[in-house]
């Protein structure tokens, strides 16, 4: 393992300890891409699984909160604005979920 790969692995492990799963997913993908091996090793697959599973889990929790969110009592059309904000946030979370899923699938397909 090169010095650059070792440094990335340490950053992945630190991100895991700090429960920064988005950073962990980004770093593990970067590590896998820079690895000189044709096939990623099982420990990296496990770390990648942890990173993407938890990144998705955080977004799913956000999605549940947003999808069950009810506007407060309507006052002069405020409920329309509140619904729009809720829909915008739902679209944002959905795009994050799609991005995470796409990145994980591409990484697995390309390197596994």
pLDDT, tens digit, for every residue of 87-112? 888 888 888 888 888 888 887 777 66
Q: Nearest 5 degrees, angle CA 97-CA 86-CA 53? A: 20
Q: What is this structure's pTM?
A: 0.73
Residue 20 belongs to domain spanning: 3-111
* Number of structural domains found in the chain: 1
Q: What is the pLDDT of residues 5-37, one digit of tens each?
A: 899 999 999 999 999 999 999 999 898 888 776
Q: Which residues have CB under 8 Å from 79's CB, separation 6+?
A: 71, 72
């Amino acid at each position: 393992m090169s010095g650059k790969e070792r440094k990335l692995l340490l950053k992945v492990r630190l991100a895991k300890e700090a429960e920064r799963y988005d950073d962990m997913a980004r770093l593990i993908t970067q590590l896998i891409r820079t690895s000189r091996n044709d096939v990623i090793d099982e420990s990296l697959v496990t770390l990648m699984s942890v990173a993407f599973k938890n990144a998705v889990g955080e977004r799913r929790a956000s999605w549940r909160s947003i999808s069950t969110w009810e506007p407060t009592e309507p006052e002069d059309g405020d409920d329309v604005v509140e619904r729009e904000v809720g829909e915008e946030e739902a679209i944002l979370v959905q795009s994050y979920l799609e991005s995470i899923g796409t990145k994980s699938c591409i990484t697995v397909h390309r390197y596994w």
